[in-house]
Amino acid sequence: MPRWRTLGAVSLALALAGCVRLPPPSNHPQSAACRVGTAWSTAYARVRRLGGLAPGEVQVLRYQVRAEPALGRPCGSLTLEKKLILRRGPGPLRIVEIRDFYAHGRLVADHRAFIGHELTGSGVYKARVTLPIPAQAPLGRYEIVSLLYARWGKGAPTLIARAQTRFRVAR
């Protein structure tokens, strides 16, 4: 089973088992905010084209991730802004983003997504994704580490970029 399906199945199982509380249905604005932005998938948009490389080559000139605002509250959300400057050669390239969430140095969540179909050529790409903060999220400092792995054809995946950002959760 692919990892993203496994993550979805585990999330659903935890919710059904009562380990993860879902916000109660209500017309109250705070409970509505708990349901906003549950899609973790990132849609990259190319905002500028760059010259390409030879087939089988990839080069990341810059990869930046930033959480806005840097201070969140339980039952709220953050926006993760990403900027990627990529040069690549023609042909099928598989790029996978692995996003790990750490609280006080401990891994608390992760997300994996295939994004190669969005990065079709060399260029400057930007993306925004809304991250919900669960109502039961512990207060404190968090860190998001985003890794990009690339694979041409049947070769082994290679780490091509790493970026990280921090935020805090407070009442």
Q: Where are the alpha helices (DSSP H) in the chain?
A: 3-17, 29-35
> Among 147, 57, 56, which residue's Cα sits nearest to residue 100?
147
CA–CA gap between residue 91 and residue 55 (Å, rounded) = 6
For residue 24, the model assigns a pLDDT of: 42
Strand partners, 110: 100
| Residue 151 host element (H or E) | strand 140-152
Q: Over its length of 171 residues, how does the chain's per-residue pLDDT go in tens digits?
A: 444 444 444 444 444 444 444 444 444 444 444 544 444 566 788 888 888 888 888 899 999 999 999 999 999 999 999 999 999 988 888 999 999 999 988 998 899 999 988 888 899 999 999 999 988 888 999 999 999 999 987 888 999 999 999 999 998
Whether 145 contacts 102, CB under 8 Å? yes
* Strands of the sheet with 45-49, listed across from one edge: 45-49, 123-132, 77-88, 58-68
pTM of this prediction? 0.71
For residue 34, the model assigns a pLDDT of: 53
DSSP 163: E
DSSP 23: P
Q: Indicate the domain borders of the chain.
A: 38-169
Whether 93 contacts 152, CB under 8 Å? yes
For residue 41, the model assigns a pLDDT of: 62
For residue 119, the model assigns a pLDDT of: 87
DSSP 137: P
Spatial CB neighbours of 27, under 8 Å, sequence gap ≥ 6: none
Structure tokens given for 52: 């390409």
CA–CA gap between residue 86 and residue 61 (Å, rounded) = 6
Phi/psi at 170 (5° precision)? -135, 165
The fold adopted by the segment(s) 38-169 is: Immunoglobulin-like (2.60.40)
